[in-house]
C-alpha cells in the first residue's frame, strides 16, 4: 500500500499549470484579479470551506485518463479492496501534501491540499 501512497503524493505534488477554469472561478467568485491570484492561492485558499475548495479545484485535481494510466502498473500488481482504499485515503490526508501551482506569469505557488482535494484524486 505504501507504493500507492508514494505514487499519489508524487503525482499531487508535481508542478502543474493552473487551469484557466480555476483562474476564471477565482476571478469571478472571489473578486481576485490575475495579479492577485498568487496571493489568493497562498493565503486565502486554506480559509475556504471544503465545498468551496472542491468546487475551485475539482477540474485541477480530478485525474485525467493519462493520470490514471500511470497507476495501472500498481493496480495490475495489487488490487485494493474498499477498506484498503479507505485506509489509503486516510493515510494520504494525514500527510501534509503540498501542490505547486503555476500561474500565467510563470510563478509557482505552494498550497497545502485539503483533504477533500486529496480524496477526490485518490478515489477517482
Predicted local confidence at residue 77, as pLDDT: 56
Domain count of the chain? 1
Per-residue pLDDT tens over the stretch 68-118: 777 777 665 566 676 777 787 788 888 889 999 999 999 999 999 999 999
Range of the domain at 109: 2-123
Per-residue pLDDT tens over the stretch 19-51: 999 999 999 999 998 889 999 999 999 999 999
* Residue among 54, 123, 62, 50 at smallest CA distance from 88: 123
95 DSSP assignment: S
Task: Enter the pTM of the model.
Answer: 0.84
8 Å CB contact between 99 and 12: yes
CA-CA distances (angstroms) from residue 4 to 18, 83, 120? 25, 14, 15
Amino acid at each position: 500500500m505504501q507504493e500507492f501512497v508514494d505514487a499519489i503524493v508524487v503525482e499531487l505534488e508535481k508542478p502543474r499549470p493552473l487551469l484557466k477554469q480555476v483562474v476564471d472561478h477565482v476571478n469571478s467568485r472571489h473578486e481576485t484579479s490575475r495579479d492577485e491570484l498568487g496571493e489568493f492561492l497562498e493565503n486565502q485558499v486554506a480559509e475556504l470551506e471544503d465545498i468551496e475548495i472542491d468546487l475551485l479545484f475539482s477540474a485541477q485535481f480530478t485525474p485525467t485518463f493519462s493520470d490514471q494510466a500511470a497507476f495501472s502498473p500498481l493496480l495490475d500488481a495489487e488490487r485494493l479492496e474498499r477498506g484498503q482504499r479507505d485506509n489509503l485515503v486516510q493515510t494520504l490526508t494525514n500527510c501534509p501534501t503540498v501542490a505547486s501551482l503555476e500561474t500565467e506569469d510563470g510563478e509557482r505557488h505552494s498550497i497545502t491540499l485539503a483533504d477533500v482535494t486529496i480524496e477526490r484524486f485518490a478515489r477517482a
